[in-house]
Amino acid sequence: MKICVTAIGEGLDSEIDLRFGRCNYFLIYDSETKSVESISNMSVAASGGAGIKAAEAVANAGINVLLTGIVGPNAFSIFTEVGIDVRIGAKGTVREAIKQYEAGELESIRSPNSAPHSGMKKGSGMGRSKGGVDKF
């Protein structure tokens, strides 16, 4: 089974990153071979669609389980379509997150837990009216 953990850096001792689409790395742990692969998230600096691009990269890597924090509706729909189990609630390092998953301590989500564009910084142009006043 392949487990993907969103991370700030490379390696099992890296801290997890709770942002799915804008994390720095995807660490992929193969529970059968005990191998670890680190993939740079190429969509981290995307001006839009980071979640979709990141979800496609994870799906194409043959992942069975994703350990992360915040997943928007577009990315979540891809995970649902390809059968990736999304788990939240991990704390600490990638190594600790994998142990938490194996111990059955992480919650499986059945719907997105973030609104569209929530990873965008305020004032990036999305959701702003012509008068410059935020609509939210």
Tell me, what's the pLDDT at 34?
94
Asked, for residue 131, whether it belongs to a domain, the answer is no
CA atoms within 13 A on the CB side of 53: 14
Domain contains 120: no
Residue 122 lies in a domain: no
Which pTM was predicted? 0.83
Mean per-residue pLDDT for 83-90? 96
- Residue 123 located in a structural domain: no
- CATH number of the CATH domain containing 46: 3.30.420.130
Per the structure, the complete domain to which residue 93 belongs is given by 2-108
Residue 71 lies inside a defined structural domain of this protein? yes
Q: Is residue 133 part of a domain?
A: no
* Among 42, 45, 53, 38, residue whose Cα is nearest residue 124: 45
Mean pLDDT of the chain: 87
Find out whether 83 and 63 touch, Cβ atoms under 8 Å.
no
| Centroid of chain to Cα 54 | 8
**Would the pLDDT of 72 be above 50?**
yes
Is 83 part of any domain?
yes
How far apart CA 102 and CA 118 sit, in angstroms, is: 30
To the nearest whole percent, how much of the chain has pLDDT over 90? 75
pLDDT in tens, 7-54: 999 999 999 999 999 999 999 999 999 999 999 999 888 778 889 999
Handedness of CA 31, 36, 42, 48 (dihedral sign): positive
Please calculate the CA angle 33-5-113 and round it to the nearest 5 degrees: 140
Write the DSSP string, 5-41.
EEESSSSTTSBB-SBSTT-SEEEEEETTT--EEEEE-
Assess if residue 121 is contained within a domain.
Answer: no
